[in-house]
Amino acid sequence: MLHKLKNIARAARITMARALRRPHPGALPKAGEGEEGTAFRADGTFTQILRARRTVAVVAGLAAAGWLLYAHPPIATAQPGELGVRTNQLTGTVTQWRDGSILVLPGLHHAQVFSLRDQTYKPQQMTQSSGQAPLQSVEGLSVGVDLVVRYALDPQRVATAARSLPSDPAEVVEPAVLGVVYKVFARYTVREIFSTKRAEIQQTLEAELKPKLAADGLVLRSVLVGKVDLPADYKRGMEGLLAEELETQKMRYTLELKDKRVRQVELEASAEKVQREVRAEAAAREQVIAAKGQEEAMKHVLPFKQRQIEQRQLEAEAEKQSRMKVAEGNAHARRIEATGEADARRKLAEAEVFRMERVGQANAEQMAREGALITRHPLLIQKTLADKLSDKIQVIIAPPGSGGGFLAANLLGNGAQREGMQQAATRETQAEE
């Protein structure tokens, strides 16, 4: 539209320029034409000036009209996602349009463009419990709630509500929301607002806000209840209470888990019992079937077993006779062996007696010779004793023997005893001879 107005202004300028350049039929004569020519020329000049003034007035009017059209274009445009409403102020006729432009004549038409996109309203004054206008619970405590209201214009009712709706629909939404929110939250306790009845509060807000906004041509999409800001004292108490509740829930879950484990053990025991019963029944059936099979088999096995018993009896009798023969032979052989062994032992005993007699005689003779030798040479006893002690003993310190005898004379006895012993040894030797 603006481009068309520019083209009209340009065409007007070109037309005026051509009119000023075009020669008029009553143009002034050139110099040297006389007084008549001069008078005629003056008359033509006046006429030309009058024509130029009219042209200038027309051009000025066109320019003023163009400026008015440029400054206040008689069109209204609706962008994508918007809805336009044009109202005829004379007839009251309402026209709607979308995504385009429409002619709007000043003084005759009144146009409004509304956005159909979803919009949000968030009351900031109630977000903090210590803010300007916090919510009040049923106990009278101040509570801050982060509330978001999502709404949009109703395309079906824009035409009827266009006259009453302001340019910014938030001016209608704000008082409606505040009037409902304070009333609804005052019905609940802080605990219900914080935890147990958030969904119920949200549904109540939507149920009460929807008809109020619908009366003004607005559609409520949703109401979102976000963060809840509790008073400091209540928050500390709530934290302690939540800790206890969490501990209680933990204990309850622990008990439930143990109960489930007990049930699981019971079920497993029941299942195992059923399995054992089934296995026992199956084993019993197998035994019954096996017993029946054995009973059938015994009918054929018993005659065979009887023949086996008779055969084993005959074999045992033959084995008995054979063992008796073998035992008789062994007994006769053992008698012969015993007789031979007795004769051998008797011979050995006689030989052993003879050997002992000869050894005794030799020992007696040896002792007689040694006794005679010691009688002749008593110092041999001391030499023999010294040889027997040790090859590493070089010096022996001992008290002298009594009467100047051998140091170990007490071990050997006195001289009378030695002589008695020697005589006894001599007699024994002579008696043996």
**Residue closest to 83 by CA, chosen among 74, 93, 95:** 95
Angstrom distance (rounded) from CA 221 to CA 234: 33
DSSP-derived 3-state class of residue 390: coil
**Superfamily holding 119-230:** Band 7 domain (3.30.479.30)
Angstrom distance (rounded) from CA 295 to CA 266: 42
Indicate the pTM of the whole model.
0.39
pLDDT at 412 over 60: no
Q: Specify which residues 110 forms β-bridges with.
A: 87
pLDDT at 267 over 60: yes
Planar angle of CA 249, 250, 252, nearest 5 degrees = 60
Q: What is the mean pLDDT of residues 298-315?
A: 85
Q: What is the CA 276 to chain-centroid distance, rounded?
A: 38
At 32 the pLDDT is 45
The residue that leads in pLDDT, 107 or 27, is 107
Mean pLDDT of the chain: 76
pLDDT at 361 over 60: yes
At 28 the pLDDT is 46
Angstrom distance (rounded) from CA 179 to CA 176: 5
Q: Amino acid identity of 114?
A: F
**DSSP secondary structure of 94-122:** EEEEEEEEEE--TTTEEEEEEE-S-EEE-
Task: For residue 405, report the phi and psi dihedrals to the nearest 5 degrees.
Answer: -85, -160
Q: What is the mean pLDDT of residues 366-379?
A: 82
The residue that leads in pLDDT, 113 or 288, is 288
Record the tokens describing residue 374, joined without a space.
Answer: 């010691």
Angstrom distance (rounded) from CA 39 to CA 51: 19
Domain boundaries, the chain: 2-71, 75-115, 119-230, 378-433
The residue that leads in pLDDT, 125 or 390, is 125
At 262 the pLDDT is 92
CA dist 187 to 137, 169, 193, 199, 228, Å? 7, 28, 10, 14, 16
pLDDT digits (tens, 9 = 90+) for 128-177: 888 788 888 888 888 888 888 888 877 776 666 666 667 677 788 888 88
pLDDT at 356 over 70: yes
